[in-house]
Amino acid sequence: MLLKQQDLLIGSPGQPAPSRNNSLGAGDRRKSVRFAVSATADMLELSTRTRLSGRASDLGADGCYVDTVTPFPVGTSLMLTLTSENHHVQAKANVVYAHTGMGMSLAFAEMTANQKENLSVWLRELGGELPKSRPLSRRICRTFRSHPFPSQLPARRARVCSTRCKNLCLCLGTSEC
């Protein structure tokens, strides 16, 4: 299979992801600018509970593109979790485009206010409006260590909080706790 140059839509992290016509004009159905990212994408199909993982390669306010060899069919509703070193966003999404062997475009359908804020911060960082965040695990651990409440709570409660912090840090791939 020969790929044409216009088929290779590769962007640099933090830069707007190129589109087929390099604009948000009439030929592009995207509603917002997307930025090139590299984030883990975990998906759960809502009706059959089928799980699938991939790599998000671009991200915008209205959706993302996930690289995966076996995309879900167009119209599939799923829960999407995007995780990078610095960010975590979860949303209900719908498959709007699927290309077997390549990936799929997802449109965000539902997102809590907190998740919308997380996405907004992520996009503002990618666009250069905000400085890059520290990795999630470091923010969680440092918050716990510097938080005044453990000494004010019964020992049992403080241990539970400490264990949760350690579990989160281990889950996010660090052992700094």
Residue 124, number of CB atoms within 10 A of its CB: 12
- Of 176, 173, 175, 177, nearest to 85 by C-alpha is 173
Residue 150 and residue 71 in one domain: no
* Judgement on whether residues 82 and 141 belong to the same structural domain of the protein: no
Per-residue pLDDT of the chain (177 residues; tens, 9 = 90+): 333 333 334 444 455 544 433 334 444 555 678 999 999 999 999 999 999 999 999 999 999 999 999 999 999 999 999 999 889 999 999 999 999 999 999 999 999 999 999 999 999 999 888 777 766 654 444 444 444 444 444 443 333 444 444 444 444 444 444
Q: Are residues 116 and 149 in the same domain?
A: no
CATH number, residue 23:
2.40.10.220
Q: Do 121 and 149 share a structural domain?
A: no
102 occurs within a structural domain: yes
What residues make up the domain containing 161? Answer: 136-171
| Main-chain phi, psi angles of 146, to 5 degrees | -95, -5
Structural domain count, the chain: 2
Asked if 21 and 108 sit in the same domain, the reply is: yes
103 close to 85: Cβ distance less than 8 angstroms: no
Does 82 lie in the same domain as 110? Answer: yes
**DSSP strands (E only) in 27-137:** 34-45, 51-60, 63-67, 77-83, 88-99, 103-110
**Residue linked to tokens 């960082």:** 125
* Eight-state DSSP code of residue 78: E
Q: What is the dihedral of CA 100, 39, 90, 30, to 10 degrees?
A: -60
Give the whole-angstrom CA distance, residue 13 versus residue 25: 23
175: phi then psi, degrees, rounded to nearest 5 = -125, 30
Strand partners, 91: 80
103 in the same domain as 155? no
- Statement to judge: residues 141 and 73 lie in one domain: no
Please indicate, yes or no, whether the overall pTM of this predicted structure exceeds 0.95: no
For residue 176, tell me if it sits in a domain: no
Do 37 and 117 sit in the same domain of this protein?
A: yes
Residues 96 and 32 in one domain: yes
Q: Same domain, yes or no, for 152 and 122?
A: no
